[in-house]
Every structure is written in C-alpha cells, then in structure tokens.
Amino acid sequence: MTVEGTAARSKTRRSGGTAKRASAAKKKTAAPAKAEPQLVQLLTPEGERVEHPDYAIDLTPEELRGLYRDMVLTRRFDAEATALQRQGELGLWASLLGQEAAQIGSARALHDDDYVFPTYREHGVAWCRGVPPENLLGMFRGVNNGGWDPNSNNFHLYTIVIGSQALHATGYAMGVAKDGADSAVIAYFGDGASSQGDVAEAFTFSAVYNAPVVFFCQNNQWAISEPTERQSRVPIYQRAAGFGFPGVRVDGNDVLACLAVTKAAVERARSGEGPMLVEAFTYRMGAHTTSDDPTKYRRDEEREAWEAKDPILRLRTYLEKEKLADAKFLESIDEESDTMAKRVREAVRAMPDPDPMAMFEHTYADGHALVDEEREQFAQYLASFADENESAAAGEGN
Amino acid sequence: MATTKMPIAKALNTSLRKAMEDDPKVLIMGEDVGKLGGVFRITDGLQKDFGEDRVIDTPLAESGIVGTAIGLALRGYRPVVEIQFDGFVFPAYDQIVTQLAKMHARALGKVKLPVVVRIPYAGGIGAVEHHSESPEALFAHVAGLKCVSPSNASDAYWMMQQAIESDDPVIFFEPKRRYWDKGDVDTEAIPGPLHAARVAQQGTDLTLAAYGPMVKTCLEAAQAAAEEGKSLEVVDMRSMSPVDFDTIQQSVEKTGRLVVVHEAPVFLGTGSEVAARITERCFYHLEAPVLRVGGFHAPYPPARLEDEYLPNLDRVLDAVDRALAY
Ligand SMILES: Cc1ncc(C[n+]2csc(CCOP(=O)(O)OP(=O)(O)O)c2C)c(N)n1
C-alpha cells in the first residue's frame, strides 16, 4: 500500500474560501504548503465509478443499496434531531450533515468485535453499530451524561473534551494486542482535535507499541470558527509520517472510498502492522452545533461548492445510472426514514426527566460515605417540601 | 461621571478594548476569539480593530494556549487567554499549576507572569457536560495564582483591567449565566482594590458570603427573607485567592451568623476555608456554626437536573433558617 500524497501534487484549490483566507494571512510568515494531494476516490461527485490502484472494492448491489439506506436514514435522523432542538426538546445538537459518507463508509468497514471511540458527532457510526438512535439524544436533551452501555455495541460513549478519546482508543488497542485478539480499534476526531496534545500523545503511544488502532480524522474544514489551516501547516494525514506510521487522505464525501480505505486500515491493524491515520476530507454543511452562527466566519459560496459534492446524491446517481435502484426502492427508503424519524421523535418526547436522587447514583462503584451523607441530607430537604405540600393540602380541606 | 448600563458580557468586552488601547503589550489569545468573537462574544470586534497580531485565534490546544502565553509574558507581553469553557481548562492545568503559578518564585522574583486566564464558568445555562463546572477551588489551592470572579457589570469592567495590570497570574472566572445581566458601569470611577470584598447589601441577622453567579441568588434570598422580617447581609467576596477575610469578619461580628454559598461542591470548596477561618477569627461572636450551601460530591448532573443541583433561593433560605434556629 502506498501512502498518498508524498509525491502527488495537484493544482486544484479546495474551495473559493481558501484563496481568500490565504491572501488575508500574514505576509511575514511563509504561505503554508498549498499542495493539494490526491484524494483516494472511487466515486466522483458526478456519480462515476473510478478505480484506485491501492484501494479496490467490489460490493454487491445489495451492499451498495445498504450504504445508501444507511446514509439516508442517518441524514433523516440528524434532521429530526435538529428539528427537535429547535422545538426545545433538545438543549443542543451537533449535526453531521455532509459527513454521512465518512461515517457510514468507515463504520461499515468494521467487524462487530472491533471497538469504536467516537467524539460527539458520530451519529452515523452509532447507527452502523446498532445503537438505537434515540439513545444518542439523552445527553443532548440533558437527561444523562452518556446514555448507553459502551460494551453492548462496542461503541464507546461520546467524548466532548477534544481529543481525549484518541488515547483511550490507543490504550484499548494496546490491550487488544496484549490479549492476542485479532480485532481493531478506531478513534474518531476532528481536524481541530489534531492540535491537541492528547492526540499527539496517542500517535506516539500507538506507534511505539504498534497498537492496532486506526485514527479516523474527519476534516470537515472547520473547528467552530477556525479553518483547518489554523491547526496545521501540512495536510493532516501527513502528520502520521513523523510518528512513524502511514497516513492517507480519502474523499470524505465518497462512501465507497471511505469504506475501502478504512477496510485496508483496520485489516492492517488486525494483522499486526500497527496504527494508521485516515483523513476523510469532507465538509460540515451546517453550523458547528445549534448554538453556533457560521455566518460570522464563513461564506455561503463555500457551502454551495461543497453541496455539489453531496455524498448521498452521488451514490444515488450511481445507483440509478447502473440500474441498481429503482424508484420503488428509493421511495421505500424515504418511507422508512419518515417512520424512523417519527419513532425517534416520540421516544424523545417520552423521555422523562431523571429523578433528582439520580444525581448521587454511580459516583462510585464501591459506594462512598460522603455521597451517602449528602444523598440522605438532600432527600430530607426534598421531603420537607412534601410535608409543606401535605399540610397545605390539609389546610385547604379544613 | 460616565455611567452606562450594560450587560456583564459587554462590560468585559469594553474593558478588554480599553486595556488593549492603553497598553500595546496586551494580547488576546484563544479558540474562536477572532472573527467569531468567542462563543460568548466577549472578544467581539476586537480582532477587527486590533488585528490578528493582537487578537490571536489559536490552534485547538489548551496546554499550548497557556504554555505559549507564559513564553509571551516572559518576553514582556501581557496575554489574556480565553478558555472556552470551564471543563476544558484541564488540558492546560499542568501548565497553569506547575509552570505559571511557580515561575516567579523559582526565578527569585526576577520574572513576572502577567497572564490572565479567562474562564467562563459555572452552570445554569442548560449545557451538556464539561460546560457548567466550578473548578475554582482547584486553582485557589495553588500558591502563586490569584483567583477572582465578578458578579456584576461594574466589577466585570474594573476587575478585568486590574487583573491585566497585575504582575501575577490571575485566573478570572466569568459567571457565564450572568453574562446577560445588566448593571451600571462608571468608566471614570476609581475602583476599589481587586481583592477587596464588598458588602452588597446591609443586614443585621445573618451574613451570606458568595461570589460570582451566587451573589445574585443571595441578594434575592435576602429580599425574600426581608419579607419574612429577617435582615440578611450579603458579602460579595469577589476574590477566592486571596480571600478578604477582614470584610467577612466585620460582617459576622455584626450579625453573628454566616452562610457561605457557591455552586462548586461543598467538600473542600472555597466555603470550607471561609468557614474554618471565620470560625477561628469570630468564635466568640458566632451564634451558630458556619453553614455552607453548594454542589454535591457528585459529577455535575445533566441539564435537566441542574436546577436541583444548583443552590437556589430555597436552599439558601433553608440554610438561613437552620442557622437562625441555633
Ligand atoms: C479540550 C476542549 N477544548 C475546547 C472545546 C470546545 N469545542 C468543542 S467542539 C470544538 C471544535 C472542534 O473541532 P474539530 O476537532 O475540528 O471537530 P468538529 O466539531 O469540527 O467535528 C471546540 C473548540 C472542547 N470541547 N474541548
């Protein structure tokens, strides 16, 4: 397997926005390396199937339709969650709009016994792992700080502190290697996260211990208001080289390429060849979260340019052109999406607020005297209102 | 007099602008502080007016932000760094505790570290985890750091400039749920010292001591108590390191009772120190043990439980009743 981009240079610019930022950048410092390496691509934005010498993939029509279904349902779920946030059912939502191919492609490359360490936007990965979508919403609704058992689907809890999970994944992978198991571990994070010390330390540990871990960076071009150039002077995938393992950049809006490259990376890990960094070059179509206002820092034209590379549209074009999907199939997926969205909506609305005493649960596995004391005091405090209510009610009766 | 009514967020923004105008060595650094003006817009418009050299969007790395600010300070700059939310200061905790706090002493006083670390902190905004915490005791415990928290617009305006002027590192805790509370700011007043506590409300029966977001809650509690004929004094501590024990002592000598209120967990919190010192200083004046109201020894809960977790009027008044019952 060759490592992309070490030699290849292309003159294409990423987007209109890049040029403007580059010219606004400081004159004092040298311009960052602008060489645009070739992306691994198997499906063009126009829906043309192309080959790549290192990443061949052969999928059945069934599998191709499955990828389409995954992406459509994930997008529908995401749209529903955004709507639920707008209606006050969720406190916050981090949309994955535009990143469906990166997530579905990479996640469908995994085996059941592989382990996933996500950040907070991996709703499509969660879907592929079989985590019920509504489970993802508890923490965004504010009824819990996690919401699922990580071991039931080998899908760890969402991590909000940027980059922390890269180390957890590495340690888990070190454990897998010690156990002699032949599964792999994958850590998801963003381009911004690649600046964190924890991520650099994860690279160091994984390389030194040859841990079976794949670092999957979704470069969606922005870390809230900061463009990728604020995080790195070289393309992110090239950073791996300095740590002693390969890095590759894949078209993050091409589900086939994401699947093929991730498959190669996890197989490599499984066979004892150590870590690999995959940079999925993609785009965050919406705001960072529902609290963010992207009009403060980015231009509409940029989004429009990326809309032309929409991951779902391109697979659909391909499926239709190759007669792998007919109108009936496409319709059935839309119907399934609506049903799923409705079910999720009802499930979220039915989620009760937790009992106040739940605050004291699970602080320790072994129990703790101070927690017991405070729980008791708080219970008495709450009960004192109950007494008042009772006497008020009794008073009314007189 | 040049008095204007403005929210705390605006007072901080105006204060930062003034500090940058007054001293070209003042720099602002942090994630999203430039074009976006910070996620709370505290640095709004500053990059536009002072340029990217002075209002610096940093890579997404808190250890890097504080570590490089230390270097810039060693070179004569006065960096004001923004940590986006309380829970994200910990990647920088090593730099703050092992380096920023101790370098002046290690250099026998020969180097100064005028770094301000701004942290929007504490809860009440319905956020997801790591966005609502009150880690002030973890910093106040460390010698070499000063820790302050304004509770109103005027203090926000003046304390920020005083923190920037200080030659010592200051951890500046901004009560994020009060950002939008308005108050009068007199930009020509002569401010009191940065670390002096302030009697925010006079009273005779009991002293409530608080800082940052809980000052407002305590003032509301005092008002509610007044309707029941109880006269509470409210001391806004303003600083958690150093603590102005003299002002609290004076108040307690008058009222004979003290309740300390903060959002952070009670166990080993700032209130523990206040309770211990005031007990030492005022033993013969106290009519009741010093009580504390605060968070529990449990992780900050999900948003739908934060109203139960955070001290509110009822919990403050419950402690007041208990103290008055002695
Ligand atoms: C340690 C830490 N610092 C700051 C934040 C606040 N924050 C949340 S998301 C984010 C940007 C992350 O960008 P990136 O890693 O590119 O991922 P993306 O959200 O774009 O997928 C920031 C700064 C955080 N969560 N954790």
Across the range B73-98, mean pLDDT stands at 98
Structure confidence at residue A386 (pLDDT): 81
Structure confidence at residue B26 (pLDDT): 98
B91–A291 CB contact, under 8 Å: no
Across the range B17-25, mean pLDDT stands at 98
DSSP letters, A126-179, are HHHHT--GGGGHHHHHTS-SS-S-HHHHTBPPP--STTHHHHHHHHHHHHHHHH
Structure confidence at residue A5 (pLDDT): 36
pLDDT tens figures, A121-157: 999 999 999 999 999 999 999 999 998 999 999 999 9
Determine phi and psi for A157, rounding to 5 degrees. Answer: -65, 155
In this structure, the dihedral spanned by the alpha carbons of residues A86, A87, A93 and A97, taken in order and rounded to 10 degrees, is -60
Q: Are A303 and A295 in contact (CB under 8 A)?
A: no
Q: Hey, is the C-beta of B167 within 8 angstroms of any chain A C-beta?
A: no
How far apart are the CA of B10 and the centre of ligand 1, in A? Answer: 25
The whole model's pTM is what? 0.93
Q: What average pLDDT does the structure give for chain A?
A: 91
Across the range A235-256, mean pLDDT stands at 98
pLDDT tens figures, A342-383: 999 999 999 999 999 999 999 999 999 999 999 999 999 999
Q: In the structure, what pLDDT confidence band is assigned to residue B204 with cuts at 50, 70 and 90?
A: very high
- Sheet order of strands, B146-148 included: B55-57, B26-30, B78-82, B116-121, B170-175, B146-148, B239-241
What is d(CA B65, CA B70) in angstroms, rounded to the nearest whole number?
9
Quick check: helix, strand or coil at residue A39? coil
% of residues, chain A, pLDDT over 70:
88
Structure confidence at residue B282 (pLDDT): 98
Q: Are A280 and A253 in contact (CB under 8 A)?
A: no
pLDDT tens figures, A61-76: 999 999 999 999 999 9
Radius of gyration of chain B (CA): 19
Q: With a cut of 60, say whether residue B50 has pLDDT above it.
A: yes
Q: What average pLDDT does the structure give for chain B?
A: 98
ipTM of the complex: 0.95
Q: Hey, is the C-beta of B127 within 8 angstroms of any chain A C-beta?
A: yes
Q: Pick from B42, B311, B289, B291: which is nearest to B150 by CA?
A: B42
Q: Are A222 and A98 in contact (CB under 8 A)?
A: no
B297–A363 CB contact, under 8 Å: yes
A91–B128 CB contact, under 8 Å: yes
B39–A291 CB contact, under 8 Å: yes
Q: Hey, is the C-beta of B321 within 8 angstroms of any chain A C-beta?
A: no
Q: Hey, is the C-beta of A342 within 8 angstroms of any chain B C-beta?
A: no
Structure confidence at residue A387 (pLDDT): 72
Across the range B25-50, mean pLDDT stands at 98
% of residues, chain B, pLDDT over 90:
99
What is d(CA B207, CA A383) in angstroms, rounded to the nearest whole number?
27
Say whether the peptide bond before residue B242 is cis (omega within 30 degrees of 0).
yes
Chain A segment 226-285 residues within 8 A of B by beta carbon are: 226, 230-232
Which of A137, A194, A359, A376 to mutate against chain B (most B CBs within 10 Å)? A359
Structure confidence at residue A291 (pLDDT): 97
Q: Hey, is the C-beta of A356 within 8 angstroms of any chain B C-beta?
A: yes
Q: Are A99 and A124 in contact (CB under 8 A)?
A: yes
Ligand 1 atom at minimum distance from A284 CA: 20
| List of residues 6+ apart from A46 with CB closer than 8 A | A314, A317
Q: With a cut of 70, say whether residue A17 has pLDDT above it.
A: no
Amino acid at A132: P
How many residue pairs from chains A and B have C-beta atoms closer than 8 A?
A: 121
A371–B301 CB contact, under 8 Å: no
Q: With a cut of 90, say whether residue B183 has pLDDT above it.
A: yes
What is d(CA A222, CA A196) in angstroms, rounded to the nearest whole number?
15
**Residue B151: exposed, middle, or buried by beta-carbon count in 10 A (0-12, 13-18, 19+)?**
buried
Q: For residue B117, what are the β-bridge partners?
A: B81, B171
Is residue B155 lining ligand 1, measured as CB closer than 6 Å?
A: no
Is residue A255 lining ligand 1, measured as CB closer than 6 Å?
A: no
Distance from CA of A189 to the nearest CA of B (A): 12
Structure confidence at residue A391 (pLDDT): 65
Across the range B78-106, mean pLDDT stands at 98
What is d(CA A290, CA A82) in angstroms, rounded to the nearest whole number?
7
Closest C-alpha to ligand 1, atom 25: A161
Q: In the structure, what pLDDT confidence band is assigned to residue B1 with cuts at 50, 70 and 90?
A: low
Q: Are A131 and A123 in contact (CB under 8 A)?
A: no
Distance from CA of B31 to the nearest CA of A (A): 8
